[in-house]
Amino acid sequence: MGKPTGFMDYARQDKTAEQPLERIKHFNEFYTPLSKEEQEIQGARCMACGVPFCQSGQNLMGMASGCPLHNLVPEWNDLIYNGNWEEAYYRLAKTNNFPEFTARVCPALCENACTCGLNEDPVATKSNEYAIIENAYETGYAKARPPKVRTGKKIAVIGSGPAGLTVADMLNSRGHSVTVFEREDKPGGLLRYGIPNMKLEKQYIDRKIKIMEEEGIEFRVSCNVGKDVKPAQLLKDYDRVVLACGASNPRDIKAPGREAEGIYFAVDFLKSTTKALWSNNMELKDGDYISAKGKHVIVIGGGDTGNDCVGTSIRHGAKSVLQLEMMPKAPDERAENNPWPEWPRICKTDYGQQEAIAVFGKDPRVYTTTVKEFVKDKKGKLCKAVLVKLEPKKDEKTGRTVMTEIAGSEYTVPADLVLIAAGFLGSEDYVTKAFGVEVDGRTNVKTASGKYSTNVKNVFTAGDMHRGQSLVVWAIREGREAAREVDESLMGYTNLSVQ
């Protein structure tokens, strides 16, 4: 363990965030990490408790608690406390293919299940993870390690998000020859064209892709499987195909006036900013992207994607930002029926919302509210939105509680730009139909429980396309498990470890 009395001797210290009014002037990550010495002290706070929930990755009351990758958190906390940064990296890399991504974007399920967090601040595990991986890059431990022997087996991975990248990384390390097909111009999936730069600067994806290429993985970008390449050809050319195409089908808002000019899906909006920044040396040029500059913006959806839209709109220079959430506000503290180490169902004020508060003087979130109608001007441009308040009511037929409009509660607000961040419905059917894979009621690709092989011979699946919209850490976990199953099906056994 770190230091036996570390959790009593030292307080939690975490990376510091640049002040909201300063950080909105740029699109870069805005945390200043601790020094190596300070981070070692944070490692000392870990008690290596008898039951380290931080690494359990268990399901409690339908929500994950602890790290889904079973990262060996107490082990690397101890290693950094003792200054053994190299070994800490190998322990971290044993269970996590991409700590450079999770250490930036993971909601840190580990910290919410940390025993220290039962009655005081949890161990700063996510920052420790960040320090370990960034130190590994600086010192050169994080480098290409190509397999010594090739098996002669060929794998096609469709989709280069965290799930596809994990499958590729694992199977390549086993000596199989892996080609990743990606329809976008660059690999990374939602890491690249969903999650904004402020949370994950894109050069960190390129840094890892370069290593993966040096290790022998081939990336074929701007190649849309099901359109540019036919599944039958892939199944002929490759021994196994893994579908990791994400859950990219956005949920729409069906309200009158939806066709008005100025209504976009969140990912299209975020992607246009990322692309424009990347192609213009991190500067935004008018006309190159979907702009919120000088506009009244309404973000529909109170989740993390909605928050990313709020932060991005503010950086564009929006006139006002409103974020609509259908559900009531969550409590500020854990409710009695939501004890530790369950995932805390509390109101989180994320970076975009903090920035909105700093710029406009109030929280952008409006709860129990949705859009009833989009109003357009004579030219077909969005100019207003009619909002309506909602209340929970029991549906007589199903017995389920549903959010229902309160008659007479409508009000109108100005709106020039609406961003729909209302979640995703599942996989896109041109891919699933082209391969003939079965999907479930949510259009996720169907497999037996805990399995990754589909109904089509030699075709496997992983990530959001399989489990539905989720998190990067789950995509990595799925990628590791799917790779194991693929390897076993090819070789008759596998020595790839999931944990």
Pair 304, 223: CB distance under 8 Å: no
CA distance 180 to 159: 7
Phi, psi of 121, rounded to the nearest 5 degrees = -75, 135
According to CB under 6 A, which one of 43, 164, 257, 301 is a site residue for ligand FAD?
A: 164
**Residue 421 one-letter amino acid:** A
Which listed range, 31-39, 69-77, 333-341, 344-352, lies at the site for ligand SF4 (CB under 6 A)?
69-77
According to CB under 6 A, which one of 106, 209, 371, 431 is a site residue for ligand SF4?
A: 106
CA distance 418 to 436: 36
Pair 129, 80: CB distance under 8 Å: no
According to CB under 6 A, which one of 308, 355, 416, 487 is a site residue for ligand FAD?
A: 308
Collapse the DSSP code of 471 into the 3-class scheme (helix H, G, I; strand E, B; otherwise coil) and give the result.
coil
**Residue 367 one-letter amino acid:** Y
Radius of gyration of the chain (CA): 23
Q: Kindly state whether residue 477 participates in binding ligand SF4, applying the rule CB under 6 A.
A: no
Which listed range, 30-38, 224-232, 324-332, 445-453, lies at the site for ligand FAD (CB under 6 A)?
224-232
Pair 6, 44: CB distance under 8 Å: yes
Q: Is 77 left (phi over 0), alpha (psi -120 to 50) or beta?
A: alpha
First to last CA, the chain: 20
According to CB under 6 A, which one of 57, 68, 189, 468 is a site residue for ligand FAD?
A: 189
CA 278 to mean position of chain CA atoms: 20
- Shortest Å distance, C-beta 420 to ligand FAD: 12
Pair 405, 389: CB distance under 8 Å: yes
* Closer Cβ to ligand FAD, 159 or 302, answer by number: 159
Let me know if 128 is exposed, middle or buried by CB neighbors in 10 A (0-12, 13-18, 19+).
buried
| Site size for ligand SF4 (CB under 6 A) | 14
Q: Is 450 left (phi over 0), alpha (psi -120 to 50) or beta?
A: left
Which listed range, 100-108, 146-154, 364-372, 392-400, lies at the site for ligand SF4 (CB under 6 A)?
100-108
Q: Kindly state whether residue 72 participates in binding ligand SF4, applying the rule CB under 6 A.
A: no
* Closer Cβ to ligand FAD, 189 or 302, answer by number: 189
According to CB under 6 A, which one of 102, 135, 173, 443 is a site residue for ligand SF4?
A: 102
Per DSSP, what are the bridge partners of residue 223?
none
* Closer Cβ to ligand SF4, 389 or 477, answer by number: 477
State the DSSP string of 101-113. Answer: HHHHH---HHHHT
Q: Kindly state whether residue 69 participates in binding ligand SF4, applying the rule CB under 6 A.
A: yes
* Closer Cβ to ligand FAD, 257 or 426, answer by number: 426
Helix axes 162-173, 472-491, angle to 10 degrees: 40
Q: Kindly state whether residue 240 participates in binding ligand FAD, applying the rule CB under 6 A.
A: no
- Shortest Å distance, C-beta 492 to ligand FAD: 28
Compose the 125-154 pattern: x for residues touching ligand SF4 by CB under 6 A, - for all others.
xx--x-------------------------
Pair 330, 345: CB distance under 8 Å: yes
* Closer Cβ to ligand FAD, 368 or 461, answer by number: 461
Compose the 68-107 pattern: x for residues touching ligand FAD by CB under 6 A, - for all others.
-------------------------------------xx-
**Interface residue list for ligand FAD (CB under 6 A):** 105-106, 158-164, 181-184, 189-191, 194-195, 199, 224-226, 244-246, 248, 266-267, 270, 304-305, 308, 431, 463-465, 470-473, 475
Give the interface with ligand SF4 as residue ranges (CB under 6 A). Answer: 67, 69, 71, 73, 96, 102, 106, 108-110, 125-126, 129, 473
